[in-house]
Amino acid sequence: MTDLRATALTLFSAAVDRANPARALRDQLASSPLPALPNGGCNIIIALGKAATPMMQQALKMIPQPRRALVVTNPENLRDIPGATTMAGAHPVPDQTSAAAGRAVIDLLATATAKDRVIALISGGGSALMVSPAPGLSLADKVAVNELLLASGLDINDMNLIRQQLSQLKGGGLLRHAAPATVSAFILSDVIGDDLRAIASGPTTSPIGTPAQARDIMVRAGIWDDTAPPVRAHLTATTDEITKRPTATNTLIGSNRHSLQAMLDAAKGWDARLISDQLTGDVEAAAQTILDAALAAPSDHPVALIFGGETTVQIHGTGLGGRNQELALRLAKLAAEQLDGDWLFLSGGTDGRDGPTQAAGGIVTRETWARIRASGADTDSLLANNDSNAALAAADALLITGATGTNVADVQIFLRSPS
């Protein structure tokens, strides 16, 4: 089993390394340098998201003075950067630090002139790290909505559509505040399918949808009546007409698909197969999808099944965990009941953090489910309570990497040796 674990960690590292934000930005700026500014112009650099720190560090090496620079990232990735102001917001639920970051971004953009260029370095997580509620809404209103969204089981695109309608900066709002300066954005995608409108809720793009669509999604998800009255009033009163906004040059520099290919390339000596780059939806269904693929795979030689995506969790309990940990736990249960031979499954967030925990995800084997039960834990109760972190910890099955400084959603690896 040691070899399986070492292989899985090697493949996971390949995925994270391919998403290295500094290297991706360096390669892009080296191949397509930014044009010179007019006399008197300034480069205003705003780095937003979980990969903001390394992206800004690289940008400051390549983008000339004069410049002003601001970093907004999560606390785990916050570093002092000479030449830049650095701030941490909260994730996954925004708080007053996120609101302070939103105000700082708006204040910096207010200094932009027609001679200036705004350079936005965008990565996943930015939606919560930087918030500026729409007029008439409080931070408490936005926090309450975000908590409802995270517990609703909605996919990331639907959640971002709603968030955009409640914000001054999301869904192209950054462009309005940057005008009349030009805007160039370099984007590291944590969204499956790489819809730029959904990454960090699209501060430099058009919005995903309209207020009416946001209302409909919330009604279907059963959270409309639980939403604060000011939010319902805002979504009801706001016109569905898409407000005209400036445009930006948006460039994608890294994504989950690139990382999946890196894992395939690193799986030397294995029959490596990309099964899905669209592993989305509820973790229970995703676990069954993975098990089905494992059962269908050859058993007479080493097989590595690769998946990428971003699943969701229906929260019914008060336990601690995240989508990758719950997916690993559910797969451990299913595979222990139906799969023979030596196998290992890893599910991890490429940012190194899964939900409000210190784990990136889980690594489970044919022994994990039995170990949890042997610890005295009530496995069914832990699952029902969404307490995947405690369950995996009982079997020493947590994937802990620390913050990686990048974020291109989640990757999954299933390894099986011959019986």
Structural tokens at position 382: 């832990």
User: Over the stretch 236-265, which tens digit does the pLDDT of each residue have?
Assistant: 986 644 455 678 999 999 999 999 999 999
User: Over the stretch 338-366, which tens digit does the pLDDT of each residue have?
Assistant: 998 999 999 999 989 999 999 999 999 99
Whether residue 244 is found in the same domain as residue 226: yes
Residue 155 confidence (pLDDT) above 90: no
In a domain, 8, yes or no: no
DSSP assignment letter at 416: E
Task: Tell me the β-bridge partners of 343.
Answer: 416
Whether residue 193 is found in the same domain as residue 315: no
In a domain, 5, yes or no: no
Q: Give the type of residue at 352.
A: G
Instruction: Look at residue 143 in the predicted model and tell me its pLDDT.
Output: 87
State mean pLDDT over 327-347.
95
Q: Residue 228 is part of a domain; what is its CATH number?
A: 3.40.50.10180
pLDDT > 70 fraction of the chain, expressed in percent and rounded: 97
Whether residue 210 is found in the same domain as residue 100: yes
DSSP assignment letter at 304: E
Which of these three, 215, 237, 254, is where a domain ends? 254
Whether residue 213 is found in the same domain as residue 268: no
Instruction: Look at residue 241 in the predicted model and tell me its pLDDT.
Output: 47
In a domain, 4, yes or no: no
Whether residue 248 is found in the same domain as residue 292: no
Cβ pair 297, 254 in contact under 8 A: no
Structural tokens at position 270: 């294995």
Whether residue 406 is found in the same domain as residue 331: yes
State mean pLDDT over 153-173.
90
Q: How confident is the model at residue 169 (pLDDT cuts 50, 70, 90)?
A: very high
Which of these three, 224, 254, 284, is where a domain ends? 254
Residues in the chain, total: 419
Report the mean per-residue pLDDT for the chain.
93
Whether residue 222 is found in the same domain as residue 247: yes
Picking from 287, 397, 302, the residue whose alpha carbon sits closest to that of residue 343 is: 302
Whether residue 283 is found in the same domain as residue 364: yes
Whether residue 37 is found in the same domain as residue 76: yes
Residue 409 confidence (pLDDT) above 70: yes
Q: Which residue has the tokens 């719950």?
A: 326
Cα atoms in the 13 Å half-sphere on the side-chain side of 250 = 22
Whether residue 63 is found in the same domain as residue 147: yes
Q: Residue 351 is part of a domain; what is its CATH number?
A: 3.40.1480.10
**How many domains does one find in the chain?**
2
In a domain, 121, yes or no: yes
Q: How confident is the model at residue 405 (pLDDT cuts 50, 70, 90)?
A: confident
DSSP assignment letter at 200: G
In a domain, 12, yes or no: no
In a domain, 397, yes or no: yes
CA distance 121 to 203: 11
Question: Domain limits at 185?
Answer: 20-254
In a domain, 369, yes or no: yes
Whether residue 58 is found in the same domain as residue 138: yes
CA angle 200–70–256, rounded 5-degree value: 30
Peptide bond into 92 cis (omega under 30): yes
Its pTM stands at 0.79
State mean pLDDT over 303-328.
95
3-state SS, residue 54: helix
Instruction: Look at residue 419 in the predicted model and tell me its pLDDT.
Output: 66
Alpha-carbon dihedral angle through residues 6, 282, 325, 195, given to the nearest 10 degrees: 70
Which of these three, 254, 276, 308, is where a domain ends? 254
State mean pLDDT over 164-177.
94
In a domain, 391, yes or no: yes
